[in-house]
Amino acid sequence: MITEVVIAAATEAVFGYLLSESGLATQIRQRLQPDPLKAAFKQALTDAFHQFAQTHPDLVASLFDEHLLTQPAVAKLLAQSLRRDNAPDGAALAALYVEHVGSRPERRATLQAAIEPAADDLLTALRDELRTKAEFQALFDSQAFDQMAKDAGKTAIEVAAMRQFLEQIVALLAQPSPTPEPTQPNQPVVPGTTPGLIGRAPRDKPNPFIAGIAVPPERFYGRAHERQAIRSRIGAVTAQSISLVGHFRSGKSSLLEYIDQRITEFCSAPQSGVVARISLADSRHRSAQGINEGLRRAILKATGEAPWQQDENNDTYALEDGLERLARQGRRTILLIDEFQAFDDKEKFYEWGRNWRSQAEKPRLALALVVASHRPIPEIYKERLVDSPFGNLFTQERLHPLEPHECLRLLRDGFATNNEQPSAADEALVAELAGGWPFYIQLAASLLWELNDHAAVRREFACQARPHFERLWKYLHPTEQAALRAIVSGGSAPGTALQTELAEQCLLSEDGQIFSRVFAEFIRGL
């Protein structure tokens, strides 16, 4: 999906360049938008890039990716592939690549020389693919246009427009190709020029994107599957518990916030859910007494009546009596626990777990637990050399990345607050950086809102995301770290079982690559 979006963006960049330089009237440009030329170019570019990716997977993984193709200087180079006498200029593309990855000045010449053969391969593949497309035969064979137009079934006006466009392309590409100049960061684009930088007018609206804290329900997107799984447990005829598992920054806290604020979506009106939300990241809650006090205060706030007294927080009989009174009143108690892995006293927490399992297993108490952690609960206890006290109390639901259409809606809704829409290249950039993880989507979108060019967004995203990548990496198992290192270095692929597990953890995308190219660069730099 990400590849398709970026190839489409690259095609738009090429045709944007051709149209802006050709001088065609606006109405002719509009008629050309759906013509077969663009579709044929897109297919040729797709096929060429797939060939390149198979031959040079290491370069694809190290940011010689499709997104490079959306830069205006690269669009000019790609357009030159339509010249009848085109000689692929791998040196120019290699120079743009070196600028794209931000290589140090003293390394640029060496890196450019090493990359040039691969760049030649990509441009040669594109040239060869274009010459197989009937839609472009008129550029290479002056007798082919009439038959192409006839086969396409175009009207006389459309044929004339296409002929004029092709003639303009021939004339344009016959001009000497200037040496592409590297784009400079934070340099706004003059309206009417080829869109490579964002170049939007300054925004007078506040940044709508939220990175670093739980998002409010009105800014929550996706998670339909996870919400249904939660609803089927805490909103069932008998209250039941569920474990939510996802790596740091996968959106667990925002999902718990959503449950807290939209409890009527999960529990029916007759069930009358009373929600208490706590986090073990808060040291006050890292004890049985602290958790019980958090629950007591939440019930007091919701009902106006304390279920037990503060000095009874260590009295399991008092807790059980209080929960049972609520249940008899038709109230269901929902305890949300975030950052469950943060507990540090394993003996006390084991005892706490046994007590709460006993209470949650009693239907008459109408109690459900929703526990969020970065690893499955049994694994967390096993790392502390004790068995999980919860037995089979929980079903487990792993948080997955947002679907592509959910990512796009989040991004587009945010930009719509300023009466604008992100470009295809903007959308591709966010998809490439974030890999569908909600926090990274919000971070990339926020930077896209604030900055003026994609190169600056990339650099700042890498800087802002690094502490989160470090934390994620720290809590991976050594076997998982080794497998990810092998993937980014082009070494031996991990075994099927491990690769499946990494994909299940959302560390790998559907194509087997690291979920974020910036995370891949982080791993490569370790």
Class of domain 217-398: alpha beta
Tokens of 83: 């010249």
Query: Measuring CA to CA, how many Å separate 316 from each of 309, 321, 322, 350?
Result: 12, 9, 10, 15
Nearest CA-CA partner of 78 in 64, 89, 62: 89
Rg over CA atoms, the chain: 28
Residue listed under structure tokens 């945010």: 414
So what's the pLDDT on residue 124?
87
DSSP letter for each residue of 320-340: HHHHHHHHHTT-EEEEEEE-G
So what's the pLDDT on residue 198?
42
Print the SS3 string covering 339-389. CHHHCCCHHHHHHHHHHHHHHHCCHHHCEEEEEEECCCHHHHHHHCCCCCC
Domain boundaries, the chain: 2-174, 217-398, 404-524
Print the SS3 string covering 400-430. CCCCHHHHHHHHHHHHHCCCCCCCHHHHHHH
Give average pLDDT by consecutive 10-residue segment, the chain, 526 residues: 61 66 45 60 81 74 59 77 73 79 67 83 84 69 46 49 57 52 38 39 81 92 94 96 95 96 94 94 88 94 94 93 96 95 81 89 96 94 86 94 92 91 91 94 96 90 97 95 92 85 92 92 93
Tokens of 59: 């370069």
CB 273 within 8 A of CB 334: yes
| Helix (H) or strand (E) segment spanning residue 276 | strand 273-279
So what's the pLDDT on residue 491?
73
So what's the pLDDT on residue 263?
95
Q: How far apart are CA 373 and CA 268, in angstroms?
A: 26
Q: Which residues pair with 274 in a beta bridge?
A: 333
Nearest CA-CA partner of 370 in 287, 268, 263: 263
SS3 for 133?
coil
Q: How far apart are CA 327 and CA 321, in angstroms?
A: 10
The answer to whether the pTM exceeds 0.75 is no
Kindly give, in sequence order, each residue whose CB lies less than 8 Å from that of residue 440, ignoring residues fewer than 6 positions away. 249, 433, 434, 461, 465, 516
